[in-house]
Structure 1
C-alpha cells in the first residue's frame, strides 16, 4: 500500500469513527427517525451532485429493487438502530459494537451458502462475543435504564450490515458509486412516511445541526467516495481494513469531545473484538503491507 492510499484509509476510519460521535450528539435531541432522514437525504443530495459531475447515471428504473435492498439493510435499518442506541450508549461503545459487522457477515454468508463454519471462524466468533461482553460490561452508560435494548439494537445494526454484505456478493453487478447513491435515496424514501409521527426530543441548536450536516455529507457522502477510491486502488479486501481502525477513532473522538470514560475493560474488549474480526475475515497485515499498487494514485 502506498502512502496516498494509507492516508485515505486512515482518513476514512477517522470520518466513520466520527459518525458515532455526531450520532451521539444529535440523536438525543432530534430522535432517531428525524436524524436519519436528514442523514440519508443530505448524503443522497451530495451524491446526486457528484453523479452529475462524474456523469454516472443512476438507472433507477432498471435497478430500483437492488437499491431498495441495499437501502434497507445497508442504510435505513442500521442507521436507525445506531441512532436509537446513541440515546443511551457512548460513541465509544457503539463504534466497537459496529466492528462485529464482518463477523456477522461471515456467519450469514456461511448460512446462506450452507457451508459449515471452519474452526478459525468459530474461534473468531467466540472472541467477538467475549469482547462485546467486556465492552458493555465496563461501559458505565450500560447501567442506565434501557441499556440492554440499546446494546441489542447496536448489535442488530451490525447484523444488518452483515446481511447487506452477503446480499451484495450475490446481487447483480452495479458499480459501487451507484450502489451508494441509489441506496441513500431508497433509504430516505422508506423512512419518510415515519417522519410526521416522529417526536423531536428538544430544540436543535447550531451545534446539533452542524453535527447533522457533518453526519450526512462528510460521514456518509464523502466517506463513500473515499471508500470507492480505496476499492479501486487497493481492492475491496484490503479496503475492509478500515473496519479495524474505526473503533480506534470512535474511542478517541468520544474521549476528546464528549469526555467519555475509557476503562481498561473497554480497551481490552475492543482489542478482542478486532482480533475476532481479523480471524473471521482472514485478515493478514503482512500481506497488506507487501501488496503492490500503482504509484500514480
Structure 2
C-alpha cells in the first residue's frame, strides 16, 4: 500500500495525464492526415462522431433524466457548432496541408473563446489580453503565408482558424446553456447530435473504393481514443484541477501534432511554421495569465 499523501499522488498524476492528453489530441491530426484521402472529410468525420458518441453513451444513459426535451433545443445546435463543423474543417484542412498546420491552428481556440465572450457576452478582456489576441492573429497570418511545395497552406490555415473560432463559440455556448449537466453525458449528447447533422453528407460522399486497413485503423482511433476517451480524460481533469489548469493542454497539442507528423509522415517543419507556432502559443500563454 502506498504511503504517499493523496495530494502528492495527484501532483504526480496531473502532469502525466495532461501530457498524455496532449499527445492523444496531437495524434488526432496525424490520424486525420492518414485517413482523409481514403474516406474523404465527410465520411471520416461521421465515423469519428459516431464512435466518440458510442464511447460516452453509457454516461448519457445513466443521466438521461437530466436531459428533458427542452435541453435538446440547445444540445443540437451546440453539437453542430462545437463538433460537426469544426471536425469537418480540420479534416478538410488535413487533406490539403501538413498535420502540423491544423494542430497549430487548434491552439487559437482559447483566444477565440475570449474574443467571443467579449464581443457577444459582455465579458471584460483587458489591454493585456487584447494584445495577446493581436499577437495570436499575427501568428495565423505568418502561418497562412508559409510556402510549402505541393500544399495549399493558406486555405488550410483559414479552415483551421475558422474551426477554432467555432470551438471558441462552442465553449461560450456550453458555459451558458449546459451548466449543471454531467460533462461526459453532455458530450455524448452533442456528439450524437453532430453525427445526425453529418449523416446525410456522409452518406452522399461515402467512399466507393475499398478503404485500406490503415485508414480504418486511424479512423477508429480518431473516434474512440481521440474523441470519446480523450473527452473522458479532459472532463476528469477539469473536475480535479479546474478548467484553467486543464486548458494548459492547449500548449501541448501543437507540439505533439507537429512532432508526430514530422517523425511518422516525414512532413516538413519550416522556420515560418515554428515562428507562427511560437507567436500563437505565446499569445495563448499571455491570454491565460491575463485571465
Moved more, 60-69 or 235-244: 60-69
- Structure 1 counterpart of 2:135: 127
Within-5 A mapping of 1:33-52: 33-49=42-58
Does structure 1 conserve the Cα–Cα contact (< 8 Å) formed by 2:144 and 2:153? no
- Structure 2 counterpart of 1:162: 168
1:170-200 deviation per Cα after TM superposition (whole angstroms, max 9, x unaligned):
2142221122110110001111122232153
Instruction: Compute the displacement of 1:283 (Å).
Output: 6.3
Q: 1:103 to 1:51 in 2, by over 3 A?
A: same
Q: Name the CA distance, whole Å, in 2 between partners of 1:211 and 1:49.
A: 24
**Residue 201 of structure 2 corresponds to residue 207 of structure 1:** no
**Residue 124 of structure 2 corresponds to residue 105 of structure 1:** no
Determine which of 222, 227, 252 is the counterpart of 1:220. Answer: 227
Instruction: Compute the displacement of 1:154 (Å).
Output: 1.2
Q: Name the CA distance, whole Å, in 2 between partners of 1:250 and 1:99.
A: 11
Does structure 1 conserve the Cα–Cα contact (< 8 Å) formed by 2:86 and 2:166? yes
TM-score (norm 1): 0.88
RMSD between aligned residues: 2.0
Within-5 A mapping of 1:174-253: 174-198=181-205, 200=207, 202-253=209-260
Moved more, 79-88 or 56-65: 56-65
Q: Name the CA distance, whole Å, in 1 between partners of 2:91 and 2:278.
A: 24
Q: Name the CA distance, whole Å, in 2 between partners of 1:283 and 1:10.
A: 23
- Structure 2 counterpart of 1:84: 92
Task: Please give the secondary structure, in 2, of the residue aligned with 1:219.
Answer: helix
Which runs of no fewer than 5 residues in structure 1 stay unpaired?
285-297
- Structure 1 counterpart of 2:12: 3
- Structure 2 counterpart of 1:31: 40
- Structure 2 counterpart of 1:262: 269
